[in-house]
Chains A and B, each alone.
Chain A
Amino acid sequence: MNVVRLIRATARLELELLARDRLFVALTVLAAVSFIAMVSLFGLTGSRAPMALVDEDHSPDAQRFVRALEQAHHSFALRPMSAAEASAQVGSGRLVGSITIPAGFGERVRRGDTVPVEVVIDNVDVDLTNDVQRALPAAIVLFGRDAGLPGLRAQVSERDVYVNDTGYVPYLAVSALALDAFVIAGALGAIAVAREWEGRTLKLLRVSPARPGALLAGKLLAAGAVAAAALLAAVLAVVLGYGVRPVAPVAVAGTLLACVVVFACVGAWLGAVLRRTAPVVPLMFGLAMPLYLDSGALEPTRFDGDVIWVIAHATPLYYAVGVLEWAFHGLQVTPEPVLLDLAILVAFAAASVPLAAAALREDG
């Protein structure tokens, strides 16, 4: 039997089966895409803590201090208001805290006094509280420098590795694409295989003269095509929704295609192990969560210490995030060269194909 025709026929059959399961496919895609939106919620709290600003002085020095607060490393989103409003809004949890510049601030600063600025913090979130506590001295340093106060002995001179900082949400959204590929391609690959056990059609496949590798290729081709289309929707959400323009679009496409191949094969293997379709997506999702964060999704994994970094190398998501962050933002987030990341990703794909084929051949 002609292998190409066999693959094409199997792929067509698989597409028809997926078409009958439209709701399930749509929900799989929805889960993956909504994950990008949900993860970005975390990014929104990474900077610019909403703080009430109560200026009881209105002097030029008070305004200078406000400017310093605004320039202090994306720390504060200042909301000018009265003391009563500030108290009410902080008390009801709508603001992180309040900063009160007392009356007479400018006059006392000019006189050489040290003026305490009252800061109230809703310390419900330790991480955000720490950010505010670190940002206030940073703002005070900026204020002192800008006011040209005497007696300041040192300042920070910064040299950055990259010309521009990358926003946190765009960084997270790009790495979430790797997770999307894992969940979508993995789930569809797993279902394509598990369905044969569930529907008891595996025996028919085995008694047919067709080679299992060709049958699997056809199934995964169809699952991969649907996964690629779904991923395209996620990429468009990142590009259009978050305004992230890839610096290397071809690399983005290549990486995501490699991810689809790898994860569809991993999914096929999982499907052969589970032999049921219902638990596939929850399991893929549950597995994806820790793998996702251990892949450099929030920051380069190397920053998290040796143990986490070494473990990260076992998952293709690490290499995928490495290539995707480079392809979208021009960032090097793995110590390994991007080309090596890409090569390992391809090696994962090559290794996972026979693994999945072997799983299908095993006695069911």
Chain B
Amino acid sequence: MRAARAAWAIARMELSVWLRSRWAVLAAVVPPLGMAALVGVLTISVGQQPVALVVQGDGQLALRLGHLIQADREAYLVSVMDRRDAEAALREQRVAAVVVIPADFDQRAATGQAQVVLELNNVDIDVSDDIRRSVARSVAEMDAPQLGLAGELNGPSQGLLLPNPYRVAVAERDLRETNVDFLRYQVVPVLILVVISVATLSAAALTARDFERGTGRLLLMAPARRGTVVAGKLLASVLATAVVLVPLVGVGAAAGVLAPPAAHWPALAVLLAAVTVAAAGVGQLIGVAVRGGRAVTMVGLNAGIVLFFLGGGFTTVAFLPGWLQALAALVPTSYAIAGVRQALFYPDLQGFGLDVGVLLACALVSAGLGAFALGRTLGHRR
């Protein structure tokens, strides 16, 4: 009980020191916020592409195809223009492509020779292929309505098969029930980056500070045991993370960005706590190893970047090449990000036990190592 009170007192003192270091707080918070902004802008880039539609034909088929393209809002941001304006828009990069349905479209369609002209700014393969796929789907949909998105999801897979001239249909079955938009899907892992950044950098900075100012020795002269001192310092980083994280989660929940099933909140809390302790332990290790304020910040920043990216913060690990998947499996953040997504976006907690188990083990190991290294180093300097 006395030890707990002592640890709590040390934690409060360390926390107040950290909160007074405005720049340290800023250094821990700004990179994740920057990353959140980056992901936000990213969602604009990877979604719909701006396309000019020029419908020169006035036949039934030409108009139908034009309508199909305009209706596909998931793929395009369509502006209907005349040919000259469309060419200018392509030149000025206001659109990434021009889709032209020629005047003779219906006549040529009667003989199976109709062409849709796609003028494409193929500046990079990601943009280009997105547009190519979308235009091909629109053209296919003209003769085979079930090749549209609604047909793929609700056609043959629901027992409704309409014949089409391509003689192939898609019976799509989605593995998960989710309708999470890309922004929420990508922004949520930034929570993990916040935890990693604040816990690691606060622990590293507070530890390094003791070496730089020699205050570690003063702590050891206190009547508390060394383990209590180290636990108090670790607790301070956990509290620092909570100071930043709790309001963020509160705002996210109030705004509806974080809206897991009610029963998932405790699981989410356990996961975030495990990541916090693990990151704080790593921070103590960095603080002991590096000891210089600036270098400590840089090591923490580097660790945060690698852990976040390799953990799938910017992508989906499952879809990376095999060797990268194997590498990511060794990175604890991949379990944290997978767990957060599972808790927030899916109706069940499938696979969550493994994620939390790995993270708790990491928390135990890193906190233990951090405490051992710090306790031992302070002891040597006594």
Across the interface, do B165 and A30 meet the contact criterion of CB distance under 8 Å? no
Min CB distance, A244 to chain B, in Å? 13
Residue from the list A74, A133, A158, A171 in contact with B149, Cβ < 8 A: A133
Min CB distance, A167 to chain B, in Å? 6
Interface membership of B70, Cβ < 8 A: no
Residue from the list B171, B302, B314 in contact with A34, Cβ < 8 A: B302
Q: Which of A150, A156, A274 has the most CB of B within 10 A?
A: A156
Across the interface, do B129 and A289 meet the contact criterion of CB distance under 8 Å? no
Min CB distance, B98 to chain A, in Å? 9
Within 8 A of A (CB), among B106-141: 109-110, 112, 114-130, 132-137, 139-141
Across the interface, do A124 and B166 meet the contact criterion of CB distance under 8 Å? no
Bound together, the chains give a CA A335 to CA B315 distance in angstroms of 30
Across the interface, do B120 and A157 meet the contact criterion of CB distance under 8 Å? no
Q: Contact string, B320-361, partner A, CB cutoff 8 A, digits 1/0?
A: 110011000000000000000100000000000000000000
Bound together, the chains give a CA A23 to CA B310 distance in angstroms of 23
- From A1-9, A90-98, A210-218, A349-357, give the one contacting chain B: A90-98
Across the interface, do A34 and B305 meet the contact criterion of CB distance under 8 Å? yes
Bound together, the chains give a CA A95 to CA B50 distance in angstroms of 30
Residue from the list B128, B167, B297 in contact with A165, Cβ < 8 A: B128
Interface membership of A128, Cβ < 8 A: yes
Interface membership of A239, Cβ < 8 A: no
Across the interface, do B31 and A286 meet the contact criterion of CB distance under 8 Å? yes
Bound together, the chains give a CA A28 to CA B136 distance in angstroms of 46
- From A52-60, A111-119, A253-261, give the one contacting chain B: A111-119
Across the interface, do B61 and A153 meet the contact criterion of CB distance under 8 Å? yes
Chain B contacts for A299, CB-based, 8 A: 45, 96, 123-124, 126-127
Count of chain B residues with Cβ under 8 Å from any Cβ of A?
Answer: 118
Chain B contacts for A332, CB-based, 8 A: 123
Bound together, the chains give a CA A290 to CA B45 distance in angstroms of 13
Chain A contacts for B149, CB-based, 8 A: 133
Given contacts A27-B302, A281-B301, A299-B123, contact A42 B137 (CB under 8 A): no
Bound together, the chains give a CA A156 to CA B97 distance in angstroms of 13
Bound together, the chains give a CA A161 to CA B128 distance in angstroms of 11
Across the interface, do B302 and A30 meet the contact criterion of CB distance under 8 Å? yes
Chain A contacts for B321, CB-based, 8 A: 44
Across the interface, do B45 and A298 meet the contact criterion of CB distance under 8 Å? yes
Interface membership of B49, Cβ < 8 A: yes
Across the interface, do A41 and B309 meet the contact criterion of CB distance under 8 Å? yes
Q: Which of A46, A65, A287 has the most CB of B within 10 A?
A: A46
Min CB distance, A103 to chain B, in Å? 15
Q: Contact string, B362-377, partner A, CB cutoff 8 A, digits 1/0?
A: 0000000000000000
Across the interface, do A279 and B24 meet the contact criterion of CB distance under 8 Å? yes
Interface membership of A143, Cβ < 8 A: yes
Chain A contacts for B33, CB-based, 8 A: 286
Chain A contacts for B45, CB-based, 8 A: 293, 298-299, 303-304
Across the interface, do B136 and A157 meet the contact criterion of CB distance under 8 Å? no
Across the interface, do B124 and A168 meet the contact criterion of CB distance under 8 Å? yes
Chain A contacts for B315, CB-based, 8 A: 41-42, 44-45
Bound together, the chains give a CA A285 to CA B139 distance in angstroms of 45
Chain A contacts for B26, CB-based, 8 A: 279, 282-283
- From A134-142, A199-207, A227-235, A262-270, give the one contacting chain B: A134-142
Interface membership of B85, Cβ < 8 A: no
Residue from the list B38, B152, B181 in contact with A136, Cβ < 8 A: B152
Across the interface, do B96 and A285 meet the contact criterion of CB distance under 8 Å? no
- From B2-10, B155-163, B249-257, B274-282, give the one contacting chain A: B155-163
Across the interface, do B172 and A149 meet the contact criterion of CB distance under 8 Å? no
Bound together, the chains give a CA A43 to CA B316 distance in angstroms of 11
CB < 8 Å A-B pair total? 384
Given contacts A34-B302, A97-B175, A153-B109, contact A286 B34 (CB under 8 A): yes
Bound together, the chains give a CA A118 to CA B328 distance in angstroms of 30
Residue of A nearest to B35 (CB): A289
Q: Contact string, A158-186, partner B, CB cutoff 8 A, digits 1/0?
A: 11111001111001000000000000000
Across the interface, do A96 and B27 meet the contact criterion of CB distance under 8 Å? no
Residue of B nearest to A144 (CB): B166
Across the interface, do A302 and B302 meet the contact criterion of CB distance under 8 Å? no
Residue from the list B114, B126, B157, B185 in contact with A153, Cβ < 8 A: B114
Min CB distance, B176 to chain A, in Å? 6
Interface membership of B41, Cβ < 8 A: yes
Across the interface, do B114 and A155 meet the contact criterion of CB distance under 8 Å? yes
Min CB distance, B336 to chain A, in Å? 15
Interface membership of A18, Cβ < 8 A: no
Across the interface, do B132 and A278 meet the contact criterion of CB distance under 8 Å? no
Chain A contacts for B74, CB-based, 8 A: 130
Chain B contacts for A283, CB-based, 8 A: 26-27, 30
Chain A contacts for B166, CB-based, 8 A: 114, 140-141, 143-144, 149, 152
Given contacts A27-B302, A286-B33, contact A124 B165 (CB under 8 A): no
Interface membership of B182, Cβ < 8 A: yes
Interface membership of A333, Cβ < 8 A: yes
Across the interface, do B169 and A117 meet the contact criterion of CB distance under 8 Å? yes
Bound together, the chains give a CA A101 to CA B94 distance in angstroms of 41
Given contacts A49-B319, A152-B165, A285-B301, contact A331 B175 (CB under 8 A): no
Bound together, the chains give a CA A299 to CA B250 distance in angstroms of 34
Interface membership of B19, Cβ < 8 A: no
Across the interface, do A303 and B316 meet the contact criterion of CB distance under 8 Å? no
Nearest 7 CB-CB pairs, A to B? Answer: A286-B30, A286-B34, A151-B165, A289-B34, A38-B309, A138-B136, A116-B156
- A-B pairs with beta carbons under 8 Å apart, 8 shown: A43-B126, A116-B157, A159-B117, A159-B119, A165-B122, A171-B126, A283-B30, A303-B45
Seed contacts A118-B157, A165-B122; 16 additional CB < 8 Å A-B pairs: A41-B320, A96-B319, A124-B341, A143-B168, A156-B135, A159-B118, A161-B120, A278-B27, A282-B301, A285-B301, A286-B32, A286-B33, A289-B31, A293-B45, A331-B123, A334-B93
**Which A residues are within 8 Å of any B CB, using their own CB?**
21, 23-24, 27-28, 30-31, 34-35, 38-39, 41-47, 49-50, 65, 72-75, 90-91, 93-97, 108-109, 112-131, 133-138, 140-144, 147, 149-162, 165-168, 171, 191, 274, 276-279, 281-283, 285-290, 292-294, 298-300, 302-305, 308, 331-335
**Which B residues are within 8 Å of any A CB, using their own CB?**
23-24, 26-28, 30-35, 37-38, 40-42, 44-47, 49-50, 61, 65, 74-75, 90, 92-96, 105, 109-110, 112, 114-130, 132-137, 139-144, 147-149, 152, 155-157, 161-176, 178, 180-182, 185, 201, 290, 292-295, 297-299, 301-302, 305-306, 309-310, 314-316, 318-321, 324-325, 341
